[in-house]
């Protein structure tokens, strides 16, 4: 039975899995679970993943829901990055984007306090990547000369920051030169699949920036400042 990948390309971890499969020529069927339409809550999907989250895969007999160097030490170091990621980069990046840009789109209230907290975690995590995880001879995490699943997972997470407006994005990422180079290297190493899988995100980014400019035009014409809530 062909591998099935249940994914929403708006989800950072979903993108990492899809890119990995494509880059490695894994034969699979992508099944779109649209989070904005709450499809993850359907009984059919719940049977695949009782946690109702993407990504999830079905491979042969088993349901599994959550290229690997053979060298045990190197593998262990990659695990360490993957472990660190959950409560650091992911928590910071996802929390920040949610509480500044995505919440209004999902009909949720903006939470300035949560955004500030998330920004702290995000900035600290980017610093850690810049100064610790990207130390070494190679351009990838842990001084690697080739990307690992950790590179793919973390870069897909950072890509979500594309949804921020240009100024915010530059303010947050600007100070981290190594991080920027590393993102470009990882993108390059996994093309054309990287950009293809990120298309959904790029399209949303475009829509958001168009909305932002028409909002700004509208405010200029009417002379009235828009409500604080609308960042779009």
Query: Does 55 sit behind a cis peptide bond, omega within 30 degrees of 0 on the bond before it?
Result: yes
Q: Which of 134, 157, 145, 17 is nearest to 86 (CA)?
A: 157
Q: Does 84 bind other proteins (CB under 8 A)?
A: yes
Q: Hey, which residues between 116 and 145 contact other proteins (CB under 8 A)?
A: 128, 132
Binding test (CB under 8 A) with other proteins, winner from 1, 27, 86, 221: 86
Q: Are 8 and 54 in contact (CB under 8 A)?
A: yes
CB of 58 to other proteins, least distance (A): 12
178 is an interface residue for other proteins by CB under 8 A: no
> Directed axis angle between helix 72-85 and helix 149-159, to 10°?
20
Among 80, 108, 216, 229, binds other proteins (CB under 8 A): 80
* CA–CA gap between residue 158 and residue 126 (Å, rounded): 9
Q: Quick one: which segment of 17-25, 56-64, 170-178, 195-203 binds other proteins (CB under 8 A)? A: 56-64
96 binds other proteins (CB under 8 A): no
Helices (H) and strands (E) in the chain, counts: 10, 4
**Considering the complex, what minimum distance in angstroms separates the CB of residue 141 from other proteins?**
13
The SS3 of residue 64 is strand
**Is 20 among the residues that bind other proteins (CB under 8 A)?**
no
**Which residues here bind other proteins, judged by CB under 8 A?**
50-51, 59-62, 64-66, 72-73, 75-77, 79-80, 82-84, 86-87, 90-91, 128, 132
């Amino acid at each position: 039975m062909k591998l099935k990948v249940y994914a929403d390309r708006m989800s950072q971890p979903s993108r990492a899995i899809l890119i990995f499969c494509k880059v490695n020529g894994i034969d699979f069927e992508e099944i779109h679970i649209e989070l904005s339409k709450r499809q993850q809550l359907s009984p059919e999907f719940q049977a695949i993943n009782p946690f109702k989250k993407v990504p999830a895969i079905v491979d042969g007999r088993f349901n599994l829901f959550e290229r690997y160097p053979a060298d045990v030490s190197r593998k262990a170091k990659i695990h360490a990055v993957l472990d660190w990621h959950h409560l650091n980069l992911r928590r910071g990046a996802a929390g920040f984007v949610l509480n500044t840009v995505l919440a209004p789109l999902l009909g949720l209230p903006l939470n300035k306090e949560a955004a500030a907290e998330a920004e702290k975690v995000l900035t600290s995590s980017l610093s850690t990547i810049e100064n610790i995880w990207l130390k070494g001879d190679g351009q990838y995490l842990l001084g690697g000369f080739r990307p690992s699943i950790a590179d793919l997972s973390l870069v897909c997470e950072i890509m979500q920051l594309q949804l921020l407006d240009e100024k915010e994005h530059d303010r947050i990422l600007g100070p981290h030169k190594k991080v920027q180079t590393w993102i470009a290297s990882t993108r390059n190493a996994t093309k054309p699949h990287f950009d293809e899988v990120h298309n959904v995100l790029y399209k949303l980014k475009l829509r958001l920036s168009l909305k932002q400019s028409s909002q700004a035009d509208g405010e200029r014409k009417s002379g009235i400042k828009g409500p604080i809530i609308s960042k779009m």
